[in-house]
Amino acid sequence: MKLIVEQEGELLDYLYNHLDMPKKRVKQYLTHGSIYVNNNKTTKYNERVIPGMTIIIAGDKGNTKELPFEILFEDAHIVVVNKPSGLLTIATEKEKERTLYHMVREYLVGKDKRARIFIVHRLDKDTSGIVIFAKDEKTKNQLQEHWNEYVSLREYVAVVHGNVKKDSDRIVQTLKETKTNLVYVSRKKDDGKEAITNYEVLKRTDDYSLLKITIETGRKNQIRVALATINHPIVGDKKYSNLKETENRLYLHANRLKLYYPEIKKDILFETSTPTEFKKIMK
């Protein structure tokens, strides 16, 4: 179910007034993570909504006819989607079903009961943007085995705290991970994995900077760590920022991915628009 917000207010009140269903049911949708505002999953009753925003309500068991987020490309071998912030790519011990993988699988099985789906790569739970799934094992193996060779561009857009002085920079770090899954910069180059992050400033305000980011490596949390270590953490990053974060999402979005697609023997560029929240905070 899809709604376009027509008046400003709090999410729960807006849903009460515009959905023909019991209030208890509306609260269940929010509690179970089935509500998406501008493609971002939310469980907050008091989240502010403004005219023009999109609200999507996904079914408890996964919507087999329509996904609550954008499908960028689909053919017989792959499906490319625009992952919302706050949604795991694949299952963990704590969360088995409310994942991007599960939702895309339910969508495909709804069209063909024999459908299969395979992970090609992933994004952090808090990062939104482009994710590719394979529909057969041969395609999955081909893309994974040649990922670094096939992918020629991985571009992100981010909003960070502060006015970044350098117009552009290349950040080279050696990263390690603690037992509690926290990534940090190692002082020894041979003690960890090399991570290379490039950024370019697109826009500045007194409080924030909008960055275009490309990565030469694909390390866990590398963009978040790189920007935090130059004292410009990503807005909404409660894991690596020392600042008080009040935003309800991480302002990091994978907006462009270019790869060689062996099925057509050509490069293909997948693109998404900059999230509405990013544009709003930079005004």
Cα separation, 184 vs 175, whole angstroms: 6
Residue entry with tokens 């006015």: 163
**CA atoms 80, 130, 2, 85: torsion sign:** positive
Per DSSP, 112 falls in state: -
Are the beta carbons of 42 and 86 closer than 8 angstroms? Answer: yes
Q: How far is CA 276 from CA 49, 97, 279, in A?
A: 12, 28, 5
Does residue 124 have an active-site annotation?
yes
3-state secondary structure of 177: strand
Spatial neighbors of 64 by CB under 8 A, at least 6 apart, are 106, 107, 109, 110, 111
Q: Which of 60, 75, 112, 124 is catalytic?
A: 124
Residue of 253, 254, 255, 221 whose CA lies nearest to 238: 221
* Sheet of 2-4, strand order: 2-4, 54-57, 35-37, 40-42
DSSP reduced 3-state for 127: coil
Partners of residue 267 on adjacent β-strands: 260
CA 128 to each of CA 75, 103, 122, 174, 281: distance values in angstroms, whole numbers, following the listed order: 22, 15, 10, 25, 17
Concatenate the DSSP letters of all residues of 54-75 into one string. Answer: EEEE--TT--SS--SS-EEEE-
Residues serving a catalytic function are 124
